Amino acid sequence: GVECVVFNEEYMTCTWGSREMLKANYSLYYWYENRSPVVECKHYLQDRGISAGCHFNRSEIIQFHPFRVLVNASLGGKTLEIPSKHMELQDLVKPEAPVNLTIRNMSSNQLQLTWTSPYPTAHCLEHAVKYKSNKDTSWTEHRVNGDVFSFPSVDYEKYYTFYVRSKINRYCGNTQLWSEWSIPVAWGSNSTSKGMAEEQLHWFWIHTVLIPIASCLLLVVLVILLVRMERVWVILMPRIPNPSKNFTELFITHNGNFQEWAGVPKDVVESFKPNYSENICYVSELPSKEVYEPLWEGSNHPPSLMPGAPAAPHEHSPYKNSYVG
């Protein structure tokens, strides 16, 4: 559709579509019901070589009369109409932002803020004042009828910033188009320099003090956590000792001699050596009993032994005369 805005009753613009839709040749026609014939726009607003709106001079603006427009779009030999709704221009006025904001001390704790509006009909305006101190985190806004705002209580330890904007009141139109916010005005003891100094000091403390301290504390906490985790891990999973370091001297210096490495005395070592020298034992086999019995029967003396044979054994133990050298 077509959207129109009257700027401070000095001029009006009517625009249509968006840049993505501007692909045709557009023509705008307008008229006031029961007042004037249909007239084509005299001053088109161009966007990349395509008509995107129409500019109306102050002499072409008539309030409190129904206003209509017709936009034709020509594309590929075809003409399309962009519909528009019935408009009342007094409801489409957007005032200019207030100027000349001034603060005065009325008493020990009261301030008075005044301003001037460029809008030609000042009694048709209502205003909004917003303010905030350097200690506040959000803005406070008040509606004001007229061009004076009284601030009942101030703190001299703070500094304040004020903005003002305007719109058409309900007696002169039915609109929600607010002006832009005015240029701010500040009040306080050296408010501008004090505010900048405090802000710079604030950021200085954050960047040069708080951030490094927080980083160091975080690093210390991480180190403590790592040490505690290492201790817990050592308790839960103790390391297996490596015995090779303890026996390096045994194999390198003493060539595997355990007694020498352990420091055992030599006499003790000698006492454990085996002694293989033993006495020789001679054993001979006696003849069987049947060989001697026939000889004993025909003689009173036992037969003589063969030369070199050992002496006859005693009667009861033939093994007692065995010689053990």
- Which of the residue ranges 162-171, 212-221, 239-248 has the most confident prediction, judged by mean pLDDT? 162-171
Identify each DSSP E strand in the chain by its residue range: 2-7, 11-16, 25-32, 39-40, 44-47, 50-56, 66-75, 78-82, 87-88, 93-94, 99-105, 111-116, 125-133, 140-144, 148-151, 160-168, 185-187
Same domain, 77 and 17: yes
pTM: 0.54
Model pLDDT, residue 25: 81
CA 121-119-14 angle, to 5 degrees, is: 110
What's the total number of domains in the chain? 4
Cα(178)–Cα(165) distance, integer angstroms: 7
Report which listed range, 131-145, 147-161, 197-211, is most confident: 131-145
Given a cut of 50, is residue 320 above it in pLDDT? no
Q: Is 34 left (phi over 0), alpha (psi -120 to 50) or beta?
A: left
Query: Do 11 and 26 have their domain in common?
Result: yes
pLDDT band at 317; cut points 50, 70, 90: very low
Mean pLDDT of the chain: 78
Please check whether residues 131 and 83 belong to one and the same domain.
no
Do 106 and 128 share a structural domain?
yes
Please give the pLDDT value at position 208.
78
> CA 184, CA 205: separation in Å to the nearest integer?
28
Q: Determine, yes or no, domain membership for 303.
A: no
Residue 67: inside a domain:
yes
pLDDT at 56: 96
Per residue in 198-242, pLDDT (tens digit) is: 566 677 678 777 888 888 888 888 888 877 776 666 666 666 766
Please tell me the predicted confidence (pLDDT) of residue 78.
81
What's the pLDDT score for residue 248? 67
Share of the chain above pLDDT 90, in %: 32
Q: Of 170, 189, 208, which residue constitutes the final position of a domain?
A: 189
pLDDT at 144: 93
Report the alpha-carbon distance of residue 210 to residue 200 in Å, rounded. 14
Confidence check: pLDDT of 191 > 50: no
Q: How confident is the model at residue 39 (pLDDT cuts 50, 70, 90)?
A: very high
Q: What number is the average pLDDT over the span 57-85? A: 86
115 shares a domain with 171:
yes
pLDDT at 180: 95
Q: Which pLDDT score, from 0 to 100, does residue 76 have?
A: 74
Q: In the predicted model, is pLDDT for residue 129 greater than 80?
A: yes
Residues 177 and 194 occupy one common structural domain: no
Q: Is residue 16 part of a domain?
A: yes
Q: What share of the chain is helix, strand, coil (3-state, %, to 5)?
A: 25, 30, 45
As a whole number of Å, the CA-based R_g of the chain is 62
Please check the confidence at residue 84 and state whether its pLDDT lies above 80. no
- The residue segments making up the domain with residue 106 are 96-189
Amino acid at 27: S
The CATH number linked to 157 is: 2.60.40.10
What is the mean pLDDT of the segment spanning 159-168?
Answer: 94
Output the six-digit token pair for 170: 């309900």
Residue 61 near residue 12 (C-beta atoms within 8 A):
yes
CA separation, residue 52 to residues 13, 31, 85, 244, 315 (Å): 10, 19, 18, 91, 157
Q: Which of 72, 91, 110 is the last residue of a domain?
A: 91
- pLDDT tens column, 92-124: 999 999 999 999 988 777 899 999 999 999 899
